[in-house]
Each structure stands twice: as C-alpha cells, then as structure tokens.
Amino acid sequence: MTGTPTAPPAPPLRAVLFDRDGTLVHDVPHNGDPERVRVVEGAAAALARVRDAGLATAVVTNQGGIGLGLLTRAQVDAVHARVDVLLGPLGPWLVCPHAPGAGCGCRKPAPGLVLQAAAALGVRPEECAVVGDIGADVEAALAAGARPVLVPTPVTRAEEVEAAPAVAGDLAGAVDLLLGTAPPPARDPVPATRGGA
C-alpha cells in the first residue's frame, strides 16, 4: 500500500527580500526625509546573519506617495540611501511608485516587485523569501512563488496573522525560520525518553 505522495523539497534559499516600512524601519507615512529614518530594533543583527549565510538581499516597497504627489522619487531614494548607511547595503531597491488603486502589477499584494527583485539578483522567485509586516507582503510572496514570513506589528490585522504560512515575533525569529535555526515548537512537556511499553 503506497503512502501519500510527498511534496518535492523546496529549492534552496538564495535571497531574502525585505519590506521597508514596519519591517526594516519604523513606519513614517510618506517619508521623504532621511533624518526621520529609525531602524527597527534587531534589524542590523538580523541582516548580518542573512549576509553571513551567503544570502543575497533586496528591498521591495510600495511608495504610493510618489503617485499621489506627496513626495518625489528623489526623496524616496534619499531615504533609501540613509537606510543603506544605517544597515549596510541592502542590494537593489525595488519600488512601486504608483498610487493605490492604479491597477499596476508591481504594487504589493501583486507579485511584480518580488519578480523584479528575483530577476535583479539572478535567482528564481521560489529561491526567495519575503519578510514583511502585513498581509500584502505575504500575498505578494505567494503570488510570485516565494516563501513569506510575516513579522507582525501593532498595525498587522489578526486575520493577516492567521492566514500567514509562517509568522515570527521579530526579525531575529524570521531569520531563525529561514536559516533553519529556530527551536522546535514546544508540544509535549513529557521527556522524550519514556520508560515502560
């Protein structure tokens, strides 16, 4: 009697794509001022571990304020330059400049930014992970064939957390999951070695 077919093993992870606002830096809506950039606690250490593991990095970020006329692409680029100074070079920055509702294929939850980042890094989307703080990041990853990890913040909706395939409490936990260094979940408090039959 044959068992249930097993899914093929996931391809090796070669790149980690990060959301910007709420993930790497604290969210300042439509920020065009590099002086207002504040990195999330633990971001530098998490990125160092990703780099030490030999994985490429990139950032995938919706910046609808450009399309709404609230800030310029030059201002957004200046903010990104500041993040690179604070956290080290993050690789290519893939930006959707379109306003919400514009119907583009790049604004998350559409997969465009993830696909662009994979192409820029020379890897396949399924060799990428996407780390973000809201459901749109998870949906973009899944739509592109990448593996998502949600790191919730106070603005993350409960249903987004419930729907996410993988959830971590912070960036360090997300890296643990991706590198396979997370401790196994606590299930049975009974010691593994048991006496008797």
Tell the residue number behind the tokens 């979940």, with chain if given: 185
d(CA 15, CA 94) in angstroms, rounded, equals 14
Hey, what are 27's tokens? 């969210």
Given the residues 19, 133, 137, 176, select the one marked as catalytic: 19
Query: Angle at which helices 135-144 and 112-121 pack, to 10 degrees?
Result: 60
Give the C-alpha distances (Å, rounded to integers) separating 121 from 57, 100, 116, 147.
8, 27, 9, 16
The one-letter amino acid code at 56 reads: A
| Residue 19: active-site member | yes
Catalytic amino acids?
Answer: 19, 21
